Homo-oligomer: A and B are copies of this chain.
Amino acid sequence: MRLIKAIRKNDPSIYSIMEVFLYPGFWCMFFHRPCHRLYKWQLFFLARFVSQFARFFTGIEIHPGAKIGKGVFIDHGMGVVIGETCIIGDDVVIYHGVTLGGTGHEKGPRHPIIGNGVVIGAGAAILGRVKIGNNAKIGANTVVLKDIPAGATIVGRKGKIVGAD
């Protein structure tokens, strides 16, 4: 399975393949696949029920409507929120605390489109219908409100020393 390979490739802390079944990032995908099917069948309440149960179990909230590619690995995962109209490519790595959300009260497509092979650092917030190009890298805690070209690295401001005892 592509996700298991992705976990083994991206996480140097893993000692055996069995550990994969302890990963919230494994279980959130396990739940999201049937959830997305329920959503397409317009069983919205049931879909949302499963998705909220998965959130309770894994700390990862993926709206049933989100389209997610193959081998997408959400590492650690606590606090991740992925919106309804989000489209995520293949082999993306998403760390904990990441938001793929909207910017306000828009209706219709309002969440990001993430290319293949993108890496999104912990706590980053990508907001609005923006496109993140293939293999782009987004640094931890970075706020992204516009399109990012393929292969780019984007970061916020690093901490600065402002005083000392």
Does A30 sit within 8 A of B, measured CB to CB?
no
Does A89 sit within 8 A of B, measured CB to CB?
no
- Tell me the minimal C-beta distance from A112 to chain B in angstroms: 13
- Tell me the minimal C-beta distance from A131 to chain B in angstroms: 14
Please tell me how many copies of the chain the complex holds: 3
Given B22, B110, B135, which contacts A48 in the complex, CB threshold below 8 Å? B22
A19 to B44 CA separation, bound complex (whole angstroms)? 9
A143 touches B141 (CB 8 A): yes
A45 touches B15 (CB 8 A): yes
Does A55 sit within 8 A of B, measured CB to CB?
yes
A156 touches B159 (CB 8 A): yes
Does A125 sit within 8 A of B, measured CB to CB?
yes
Most chain B beta-carbon contacts within 10 A, residue among A18, A45, A79, A84: A79
Q: Which residue of B lies closest to A122 (CB)?
A: B99
Most chain B beta-carbon contacts within 10 A, residue among A24, A57, A165: A165
Given contacts A123-B125, A154-B159, contact A106 B45 (CB under 8 A): no
